[in-house]
A = this chain, B = another copy of it.
């Protein structure tokens, strides 16, 4: 039995508030159980050197915790820690994988994910909320004529699953995560397609079968998140999605 009475295959309550910050091109606050992340998408008119002149755009992410996000103050990081680097690279890759970068034109979109409160699953919340901020930013940039073709190929959402006391559980909170023997994060496109998979044995190695049970749990959970994204974005999602995706 889980502490908060959830079933093994049950997500925590997730809600997404559009436009939480006024100034970025797109923004969203995602409340996922007690985990809360502010996602902001800004345009930058420069692209990284390695794609300069290619006509392609770029999407990148920065991830950080507010000092008040954790029990016991989280020190501000002068340079991103190893953990933060790993997470922001994951967010960036995941959100690039949902876009046709050549439709962006030579601009960058930076997704800032600032964790207001951390109770497990901050990277999944960042990707799931980051997609909403990205879609809103794309919509705005299309309305300003900066992006001319809808670049989004598919929705993108992420969810964790893990094995705690021998049982496969969807969407671990901080406390479950601390006791998990296997901990995995899955980034999905609709239809059970994977953009990214990361699984780690915290103690003993795990089997092919255990991996598949986590994959199946999370694949079902992701569909709920896609629905929430669609409800949040409404018509905007159609407008930013490439027809032939």
User: A: which residues have CB within 8 A of B?
Assistant: 21-24, 27, 34, 38, 40, 42, 44, 62, 64, 66-73, 76, 78-83, 85-86, 88-89, 93, 97, 110, 112, 114, 116-117, 153-154, 184, 188-189, 192-201, 203-208, 211, 215, 219
Could you say which of B71, B86, B197 contacts A199, with CB atoms under 8 Å apart? B197
CB distance from A159 to the nearest CB of B (A): 15
- A69: chain B residues at CB < 8 Å are 21, 23
With A40-B67, A71-B23, A85-B86 known as contacts, the answer to whether A194 contacts B215 (CB < 8 A) is no
In the bound complex, how far is the Cα of B192 from the Cα of A112, in angstroms? 39
- A88: chain B residues at CB < 8 Å are 82
- Closest 8 pairs between A and B when the two form their complex, measured CB to CB: A40-B68, A193-B205, A42-B73, A82-B85, A67-B112, A21-B68, A189-B205, A85-B85
Taking a contact as CB atoms under 8 Å apart, the answer to whether B205 and A154 are in contact is yes
With A86-B82, A199-B197 known as contacts, the answer to whether A66 contacts B205 (CB < 8 A) is no
CB distance from A233 to the nearest CB of B (A): 18
Could you say which of B42, B194, B207 contacts A68, with CB atoms under 8 Å apart? B42
CB distance from A124 to the nearest CB of B (A): 16
CB distance from A222 to the nearest CB of B (A): 11
Could you say which of B66, B197, B203, B207 contacts A198, with CB atoms under 8 Å apart? B197
- A27: chain B residues at CB < 8 Å are 68
Could you say which of B44, B72, B211 contacts A197, with CB atoms under 8 Å apart? B211
Taking a contact as CB atoms under 8 Å apart, the answer to whether A68 and B38 are in contact is yes
Taking a contact as CB atoms under 8 Å apart, the answer to whether B93 and A200 are in contact is yes
- A66: chain B residues at CB < 8 Å are 21, 38, 40, 112, 114
